[in-house]
Amino acid sequence: IGDVHGCFDELTCLLTDLGYSAREDYSWHHPEGRKMVFVGDLVDRGPRSPEVVRLVMESIRAGSALGVPGNHDVKFMRQVFGKKVQLTHGLDKTVEQYAAWELQHPGATRQAAEFIDRLVSHYVLDGGRLVVAHAGMKESMQGRGSGGVREFALYGETTGETDEFGLPVRHNWAAEYRGAATVVYGHTPVPQPEWLNRTLDIDTGCVFGGQLSALRWPEREIISVPAQATHAEPGRPFLPADTDGGAPGLTAQQEQDQLLDLSDVMGKRGVETRLHGRVTVPAENAAAALELMSRFALDPRWLIYLPPTMSPCGTSQEEGLLEHPAEAFAYFQQAGVARVICEEKHMGSRAVVIVCQDAAAARRTFGVEEDAGAGVCYTRTGRRFFDDDALETAFLDEVRNAVTRAGLWEELRTDWLCLDCELMPWSAKAQELIRRQYAPVGAAAAATLSDAEEALARAAAWLPNPEITALHERTAARRRMAADYTAACRRYCWPVRSVSDLKLAPFHLLAGQGETYVSRPHDWHMAMLARLEGGIVMATAHQTVDLSDPGSMAAGIRWWEELTARGGEGMVVKPMDFITTGTRGLVQPAVKCRGREYLRIIYGPEYTLPENLNRLRSRGLQKKRSLALREFSLGIESLERFARREPLRRVHEAVFGVLALESEPVDPRL
């Protein structure tokens, strides 16, 4: 709870909103046993300092609160103990209020001073994850006790200069903070609670007509109540002037994030993740990622997530097939998963779409300029998907309109969303790759094999011979395979002349304002995203499979066979829970099961020849699956860090990690 400064009425309103209630001994308690932690400056300037001190003192005595002293509290204490202090900055009001209070509560003034004298300089809470001090606490001082530590906790650090208001200029220690613990402090009033580098200034100037704020931990939820009056005028203005509806200003964190530091993403790094422990990023991989990001990536302020790679299912022994749903089901059965969801796999390009309700929401959340638009679409390597600004704007308008029609802004209480999608056609992004790599293979094979087949047919007719006949049949089969390869490629290509020629299939609703949605099951994601269907947005066909029911699994296999028979790429099989942990740790978030004809694009036209298929069946999946788990963990980590309002450098540590791991030597066909 931020600096109260004698604002007793606002404090009781805030505590009521937080779920606390008063007892006869004046202490306040929460029904769930939560504790209040006061950051100091209980007294001065406000109208009811004695009541505030009594509430805090009795709550601490009852075990329902903790508190640290503020500089105003210490000055009041010194005055009571007979030290020579000036009755300025509101201390005169506190002395006057206690003089009147003594008439009904003899000895209360001395009792309050002794209570303040017993308070410790700062607290380290929640296993070292949370530090509370009045004016802040450097990482090197946390948990230590000395005169210097107490001095910093009370006053922070000043430069020795004074500003135009005659007040000391404070050194911005929070701008340099790199500690692992979150530091919550007050002392310097700000219009809104201000996050910066895992620190939070919670003093929102209630006594000056602002508001009284609290941070609920570990939820990181901020609750505020407005001041009931302006009880004092600040020495330095801190409330923003009326902007007449102009663009919102940047937060302190967004201001600092304008300049990124190479040292935050270079060299060998160990990135701590919630899901998979420490993920190591080799220095050479980090250098490759930095090169790619520096040359090709979009504005890094949008870059909050990169999607992970995905492993295929185990290799099938079914005749003529390399992949089959039975192997996907078997993997999840062995991991102890009861239900999976099978989602149609669209042959497009992976796309991350961030769509904001308007440009103001984009500026508030991502700190981008007013002309940066209200969203972005980028590839799995962080490049902007569209080179044409007008096409991107029209595309984002389509997505935004779909979200608005579905009512998701209101339902999810957000003004932005991050979606993981497939964007079609494949040729929309891979045109150059198709022209230089895939199309020449089909054209060359068709030309040479057609001529060879024709020549062998003439030879067989002129000179019947078993070897010539066999070679002719083999060449004819190869020519048909080449034709199947070309047909498979063409199925995923069509011209894009306007936004209406695009198709977007979202399959993950990743994050919105202040939260990620990775705790929701996949059927929730499918249901929410199906509501966006219309225009260019299409729903992803899916089917749930009960892995304890052979009939359900057989139905899932038939569904895959029907999908692939009509030219579909295949399906992705996922455990129903977005994040699933088995007996051996984190389970693959998804495995892909691709169709026979689609795999011609991946392995080449003739991969179905028995000798080729037998060789491919020896492919190893261990490296790919390890890579998929590490990238998935980093992707979730980056989203959660962004949702917690962590510095952009912390978000990018995980984002760059995903891209860096893509440099690992893993068979790209898997």
Render pLDDT for 378-410 as a digit per residue (tens, 0 to 9): 999 999 999 899 999 999 999 999 999 999 999
CA distance 328 to 316: 10
Region 300-312: mean pLDDT is 95
Residue 260 lies inside a defined structural domain of this protein: no
Strands 542-546 and 339-345: antiparallel
Cβ atoms within 10 A of the Cβ of 398, count? 19
Strand partners for 39:
none
Q: Say whether both 226 and 342 belong to one domain.
A: no
> Does 39 score more than 90 pLDDT?
yes
Residue 248 neighbours by CB distance under 10 Å: 14
Running DSSP on this structure, what letter comes out for residue 297?
B
Instruction: Choose between 620 and 636: higher pLDDT.
Output: 636
Rounded to the nearest 5 percent, the helix, strand and coil shares of the chain are: 45, 20, 40
Is the model's pLDDT at 244 over the cut of 60?
Answer: no
The total of other beta-carbon atoms located within 10 Å of residue 311's CB is 23
Please check whether residue 191 lies inside any domain of the structure: yes
Please answer whether residues 136 and 197 qualify as being in contact, where contact means their C-beta atoms are separated by less than 8 angstroms: no
- 422 near 349, Cβ under 8 Å? yes
- Distance, in Å, from the CA atom of 614 to the CA atom of 666, rounded to the nearest integer, reads 20
Predicted local distance difference test score (pLDDT) of residue 212: 97
| Residue 670, domain member (yes or no) | no
Could you tell me if residue 109 is inside a domain? yes
Do the domain assignments include residue 252?
no
CA angle 92, 94, 97 (to 5 degrees): 110
We report the CATH number of the domain holding residue 326 as 3.30.470.30
Task: For residue 596, give both structure tokens.
Answer: 């026979």
Q: How far is CA 351 from CA 266, 369, 405, 440, 511, in A?
A: 26, 23, 22, 26, 15
Under the banding of pLDDT at 50, 70 and 90, the label for residue 98 is: very high
Distance (Å, rounded) from C-alpha 116 to C-alpha 121?
Answer: 11
At residue 536, the pLDDT reads: 96
Q: How far apart, in whole angstroms, are the C-alpha atoms of residue 548 and residue 553? A: 8
* φ, ψ at 123 (rounded to 5°): -120, 140
Domain boundary among 449, 468, 491: 491
Using the 3D structure, point to which of 491, 506, 539 is the last residue of a domain: 491
Instruction: Assess whether 282 and 181 both reside in one domain.
Output: no
Give the pLDDT confidence score for residue 120 in this predicted structure.
96
One domain, residues 550 and 459? no
Residue 265 lies in a domain: no
Q: What is the domain range of residue 601?
A: 271-426+497-661
- pLDDT for res 450: 86
Both 298 and 170 in one domain: the answer is no
pLDDT value of position 270: 92
Whether residue 239 is predicted with pLDDT greater than 80 in this model: the reply is no
* pLDDT at site 437: 81
- Check whether 248 has a pLDDT greater than 80: no
| Single-letter residue type at 500 | S
Nearest to 246 by CA among 379, 370, 154: 370
Average pLDDT of the chain?
92
Question: How much is the pLDDT for 429?
Answer: 77
Reported as a pLDDT band with limits 50, 70 and 90, residue 442 is: confident
Which pLDDT score is estimated for 293?
A: 84
DSSP summary character for residue 473? H
Q: What is the pLDDT of residue 245?
A: 53
Any residues with CB less than 8 A from the CB of 611 and at least 6 apart, and which?
none
Identity (one letter) of the amino acid at 99?
Answer: A
Report the 10 Å Cβ neighbour count for 78: 16
d(CA 534, CA 531): 9
Q: Which of 440, 458, 491 is the last residue of a domain?
A: 491
In terms of domains, do 472 and 366 share one?
Answer: no
Give the pLDDT band (50/70/90) at residue 668.
confident
- Find residue 143's DSSP bridge partners: none
Domain count, the chain: 3
Residues 512 and 597 in one domain: yes
Same domain, 405 and 455: no
**Does pLDDT of 425 surpass 90?**
no
Q: Nearest-5° angle of CA 192, CA 197, CA 198?
A: 80
589 close to 632: Cβ distance less than 8 angstroms: yes
In this prediction, residue 433 has a pLDDT band, given cuts at 50, 70 and 90, of confident
Together in a domain, 476 and 549: no
Kind plus residue range of the DSSP H or E element containing 50: helix 49-62
Percent of the chain with pLDDT over 70: 97
> For the residues 249-262, what does the mean pLDDT come to?
85
Residue 50: CB atoms within 10 Å: 23
CA 251 vs CA 192, 282, 364: distances in Å: 9, 33, 8
Q: Which residue has the higher pLDDT, 461 or 242?
A: 461
| d(C-alpha 662, C-alpha 665), whole Å | 8
CB-facing half-sphere around the CA of 588: CA atoms within 13 A: 29
Q: Are residues 421 and 434 in the same domain?
A: no
Residue 86 falls inside a structural domain:
yes
Task: Kindly report, residue by residue over 546-564, the tens digit of the pLDDT.
Answer: 999 999 999 999 999 999 9
Between CA 348 and CA 502 the distance in angstroms is: 10
Distance of alpha carbon 32 from the chain centroid: 29
pLDDT confidence tier of residue 1, bands split at 50, 70 and 90: very high
Could you tell me if 88 and 201 lie in one domain? yes
Single out the residue of 540, 624, 84 nearest to residue 348, CA to CA.
540
Determine contact, residues 127/143, Cβ cutoff 8 Å.
no
How many CB atoms sit inside 10 A of residue 261's CB?
9
Residues 420 and 438 in one domain: no
pLDDT of residue 438: 81
Query: What 8-state DSSP symbol labels residue 43?
Result: S
Structure tokens, 40: 């100091």
**Structural domain contains residue 257:** no
Q: What is the mean pLDDT of residues 609-632?
A: 93
Statement to judge: residues 475 and 527 lie in one domain: no
Q: Would you say residue 233 has pLDDT above 80?
A: yes
CATH code, domain carrying 117: 3.60.21.10
Q: Give residue-wise pLDDT tens across range 469-480.
A: 889 889 888 888
Angle at 70 between CA 67 and CA 75, to 5 degrees: 130
What gap in Å lies between CA 86 and CA 660, rounded to an integer? 59
Specify burial of residue 378 (Cβ count, 10 A radius: 0-12, 13-18, 19+): buried
